[in-house]
Amino acid sequence: MPVADYKTYCRMIDHALEKKFAYPAINVTSLTTANGVLKGLAESKCDGIIQVSTGGAAFASGLYVKDMPMGAISIAEHVHRMAERYPIYVALHTDHCLAKMLDHYVVPLIEETERRRAAGKPNLFNSHMFDGSDLPLDANLGIAVNLLERCHRNEIILEVEAGVVGGTEDGIKGGGGEKLYTTPEDMLQVYRRLSGVTGARYLLAATFGNVHGVYKPGQVKLKPSILKEGQEAVEAAYGREARFALVFHGGSGSALEEIREAVDYGVVKMNIDTDTQYAFTRPIVDHLMKNYEGVLKIDGDVGNKEKYDPRSYMKLGEAALAERVKQAAADLRGVGTTLFGSGL
């Protein structure tokens, strides 16, 4: 099936809200990692989201070019072609983009989609994230409203963030303290501002102690109840239809009970990067260490081409990443939930 179109992506979100499950949203940096995600989703019969960060996009364009939009476009075009061979829906998304990076990353990608639409082609990306968490909330939402209007015209869903995700990802360092927890007042303000763009769809990354990276048990204090309190405040003020479709950032390393509690409160998308990075790298390291004398030409020897051929270990990484995606689908109650062929 081709990459989900706008109507299908909206149905995916609504389906997850109704059935109380969430989609794995996996950061990729290459064709191989994108293929691993597709494999894991297909084997789980779970729709999902492939996303590209600013750093991942720059990497994908190569060390010589280092062009973020070009790298993201390259991965997206690959996924558009390959997704047709998988019996699931997949959406394409760009991850954290700060205000200072918008004109260098998200805006050029929206422009690319506008060119495609003018030529009668499908959208390149289904959604983009604007991370205005380093700004005061009013300034954050001022930029978000303008972006949402443009996204809505082009059938693109916008993800915004209120609060701060701690830790560091792709050089983007979060803050700490009280900003790690989005308040009900924050969520009410987000709804008031963004609902003014009539008919637009958006996702909210509300923070409840989330931290990028992975930590030992007990080091990160997640409070999923914050999501419940915020949703209840919005519903009380504006009705049940105002409840948010939420995003769980910093999901790697989270306890299963915390993941599922967050899903119960409206999380439809959980970002996973650190855990899938490790899953991909672990078998590659194992291969290189076990075949040390084969992958290196030691003391003038010729080595073993079958062992240092990148395909011999990259396919191991792809397979292991796919297994971690399958675990994520199970954790998020997404196994067997695909809309593909369902008639919904």
What pLDDT sits at residue 168? 46
Nearest to 271 by CA among 259, 257, 285: 259
How far apart (Å, rounded) are the C-alpha atoms in residues 257 and 263? 10
Query: Alpha helices of 25-105 — where are they, by DSSP H?
Result: 31-44, 54-60, 68-82
What pLDDT sits at residue 90? 98
Residue 230 lies in a domain: yes
Q: What is the pTM for the complete model shown?
A: 0.93
How far apart (Å, rounded) are the C-alpha atoms in residues 165 and 296? 41
Residue 162 lies in a domain: yes
Residue 1 lies in a domain: no
How far apart (Å, rounded) are the C-alpha atoms in residues 215 and 277? 15
Token representation of residue 175: 């803050």
Residue 101 lies in a domain: yes
Token representation of residue 66: 């280092």
How far apart (Å, rounded) are the C-alpha atoms in residues 166 and 207? 9
How far apart (Å, rounded) are the C-alpha atoms in residues 245 and 267? 6
**CA angle 59–267–210, rounded 5-degree value:** 60
Domain with 244 in it: 6-331
Residue 336: DSSP 8-state: T
What pLDDT sits at residue 343? 67
Pairing outcome for strands 168-169 and 172-173: antiparallel
What pLDDT sits at residue 35? 98
Residue 23 lies in a domain: yes
Longest Cα–Cα distance of the chain, Å, equals 75
Residue 342 lies in a domain: no
List the chain pLDDT tens, one digit each, 344 residues. Answer: 579 999 999 999 999 999 999 999 999 999 999 999 999 999 999 999 999 999 999 999 999 999 999 999 999 999 999 999 999 999 999 999 999 999 999 999 999 999 999 999 999 999 999 999 889 999 999 999 999 999 999 999 999 999 766 444 455 444 444 567 899 999 999 999 999 999 999 999 999 987 755 555 455 578 999 999 999 999 999 999 999 999 999 876 788 999 999 999 999 999 999 999 999 999 999 999 999 999 999 988 999 999 999 999 999 999 999 999 999 999 999 999 999 988 66
Domain total in the chain: 1
How far apart (Å, rounded) are the C-alpha atoms in residues 90 and 37? 10
Residue 343 lies in a domain: no
* Cβ neighbours of residue 239 closer than 8 Å, sequence gap 6 or more: none
Q: Which helix (H) or strand (E) holds 272?
A: strand 267-272
How far apart (Å, rounded) are the C-alpha atoms in residues 226 and 244? 13
Residue 299 lies in a domain: yes
Q: Which single residue is written with the structure tokens 């954790």?
A: 331
What pLDDT sits at residue 177? 47
How far apart (Å, rounded) are the C-alpha atoms in residues 181 and 193? 20
What pLDDT sits at residue 265? 98
How far apart (Å, rounded) are the C-alpha atoms in residues 48 and 242? 24
> Can you give the length of the chain in residues?
344
- CATH number, domain with residue 326: 3.20.20.70
| Catalytically annotated residues | 95
